[in-house]
Structure 1
Amino acid sequence: MWTDCNPASGTRLVPVDGLHVHYKREGQGPTVVLLHGSGSSLEGFERVAALLSASYDVIRPDLPGFGRTGPRPDRDYRVRTYAGTIARFMTALQLPNFAVAGNSLGGNIAWNLALEAPERVNGLVLVNATGYPDKTLPAGMRLARNPVLRPLLRRWLPRRATESGLREAVGANSAIVDDAMVDRVHALTSRPGNRSAFVDFANTDQPDRSTEIPRIAVPTLVLRSAEVDGQHFARDIPGAQERVHPDGGHLLPEEDPDWVAAAIAEFLSGNQGRR
């Protein structure tokens, strides 16, 4: 296993698919991988990871195209490609089996990984995951698909647009969108190549695999905010458990990390030894 550290960010990095995938790892115990959503980074699970690390080996990568990992050389941002990259990332870390939890895009990647490599995934947690065709697109995705704005967004994104997108994504706990959060997200989004990668991702034709969701056979927990639409995982995955947050938005791991971490820990502890 090849790995290195980036002192400036405190992340580790490992080569996968022509990238240096940046990640953080903390704690000891069964392994759980936390996958952030689009336009985010490993910091999106910061507090959840801190809470879980008391009992788990917690790994948080920056997904290709986001955070410090940066854009893919091949510009392939299909969800199925992301799932393969995460599988190879875990192989590079010499971890054949793990639980995986993902928010939004991260959840989409997670359930695709459970379909592609069920022998490796021993627990699946979907936090406001995407993957159904009737899911409402966030404002940032809608802007990036606008043919007039696409060239501009590759070069420039105003800070106020970052703030507006974050405020749209949260629920009642809007106070979490403070200057520090906006500055962090905007700085990472503005890293070289990331804006262009997001435009590429937003305009990638994602094959609809939702009809395959009932084939998922790993133990699954669905964490959903009541206001989030277009999500039917609890209905379609056999035996899935579901918990609904009454007033959360799309960014539950940051809006209510204690609730998310407690739900994940209870679910994983209940499934240890089942597979």
Structure 2
Amino acid sequence: MNESTYSGTLSINGIDLYYEEYKNSPEKEAIVLLHGFLSSTFSFRRLIPLITEKYNVIAVDLPPFGKSGKVTTFRYTYYNIGKTIIDLLQSLGYEEVFAAGHSMGGQIVLNMMAQRPDVIKKGILIGSSGYLPRANQTIILASYLPFFHHFLRTRLEKTGVKKNIENVLFDHSLIDLELLTGYEKPFLDPTIYKGMTKWLRDREGDLVEAALQTIETPCLLIWGEDDKVVPLEIGERLSKDIPNAELIVFKNTGHLVQEEKPVEVWEAIQSFME
């Protein structure tokens, strides 16, 4: 770590938020980075060094993932997580930022723009989730069973980190020990499964068309043509429903766009931000 880098946690709205702050200078503009489901700030490891050449960066572990809190007293709705991220940014002294979210993180960015358009200058949605409804009532009821978190753990362990990584990357040659270890690390903490159980119960579903159509903040949508997790058709639909949106598509690229095409992604983001 250099002198301009800080990592730690702040308690905001009853949850410990882990964040990494890369600060060039107070005069430079800032961008907040929000990762996707089952991930952490690690997913931006190839993008952050490029962004920090020109901007301040705040990368956050969305609760209950990564090193952020996993308490069952927190309300894990996208609305509340979005509000909590905004409160974190303002606690750190940021009044106005750019916001980029990958996958589930994109849905959090959309919620932040809907809540506080005065705080988010522009939004960048990278393979953003969209139009996913709330979990069905059977799963929600089952989540109250005392052993449900064990079921979640068994289910995820059965799939395995490597298989999940293969599913999000087009280029499997990028898979190495560092990549696998980075994505596996958060799941070595057994408390994550209780947090995920509460998250599953609380999640209210993605913003519907009518809500998306009220977002006037300029948005850049970045997609991999070969995304198996959130297909390109979701990006195309979002680009029509969000009034000020443009869509960029990369060929031979999967869901984890910023891992496969960090330079190209940064060039697109930089052009859009400036």
1:12 corresponds to which residue?
A: 8
Could you tell me how far apart the structure 2 residues matched to 1:75 and 1:15 are? 12
Corresponding residue to 1:22 among 18, 23, 31: 18
What's the offset of the Cα at 1:184?
2.0
Matched, 1:240 2:245: yes
Could you tell me how far apart the structure 2 residues matched to 1:209 and 1:160 are? 29
1:74 corresponds to which residue?
A: 73
Where do residues 1-275 of structure 1 align in structure 2 (5 Å cutoff)? 11-28=7-24, 29-133=28-132, 150-154=148-152, 158=157, 161-171=160-170, 173-211=171-209, 212-228=211-227, 229=231, 230-231=234-235, 232-269=237-274
The answer to whether the 8 Å contact 1:214/1:236 transfers is yes
Q: Which runs of 5 or more structure 2 residues have no equivalent in the other structure?
A: none
Could you tell me how far apart the structure 1 residues matched to 2:87 and 2:226 are? 35
Letter in 2 for 1:77: Y
The answer to whether the 8 Å contact 1:155/1:196 transfers is no
Could you tell me how far apart the structure 1 residues matched to 2:241 and 2:108 are? 17
Could you tell me how far apart the structure 2 residues matched to 1:121 and 1:204 are? 25
Could you tell me how far apart the structure 1 residues matched to 2:77 and 2:267 are? 31
What's the offset of the Cα at 1:37?
0.5
The answer to whether the 8 Å contact 1:34/1:61 transfers is yes
Letter in 2 for 1:206: E
Q: CA RMSD in A?
A: 2.8
Partner of 1:158, secondary structure, is helix
Could you tell me how far apart the structure 2 residues matched to 1:80 and 1:175 are? 37
The answer to whether the 8 Å contact 1:68/1:191 transfers is no
Partner of 1:14, secondary structure, is strand
Partner of 2:37, secondary structure, is coil
Letter in 2 for 1:62: D
TM-score under structure 2 normalisation?
Answer: 0.83
TM-score under structure 1 normalisation?
Answer: 0.83
The 1:73/1:96 distance shift into structure 2, 3 A limit, reads farther
What's the offset of the Cα at 1:209?
2.3
Deviations along 1:201-251, one digit per CA (max 9) or x if unpaired, are: 234442452221011111110101223323322111123121001121111
The 1:187/1:215 distance shift into structure 2, 3 A limit, reads same
Q: Which runs of 5 or more structure 1 residues have no equivalent in the other structure?
A: 270-275
Letter in 2 for 1:251: L
Letter in 1 for 2:189: R
Q: Greater shift after overlay, 44-53 or 157-166?
A: 157-166
Partner of 2:10, secondary structure, is strand
Deviations along 1:142-193, one digit per CA (max 9) or x if unpaired, are: xx98x9x94434555538612211211222x122222222222212122241
The sequence identity of aligned pairs, in percent, is 24
Tell me the matched-pair count: 254
The answer to whether the 8 Å contact 1:159/1:186 transfers is no
Could you tell me how far apart the structure 1 residues matched to 2:159 and 2:180 are? 9
Could you tell me how far apart the structure 2 residues matched to 1:150 and 1:192 are? 13
The answer to whether the 8 Å contact 2:14/2:74 transfers is no
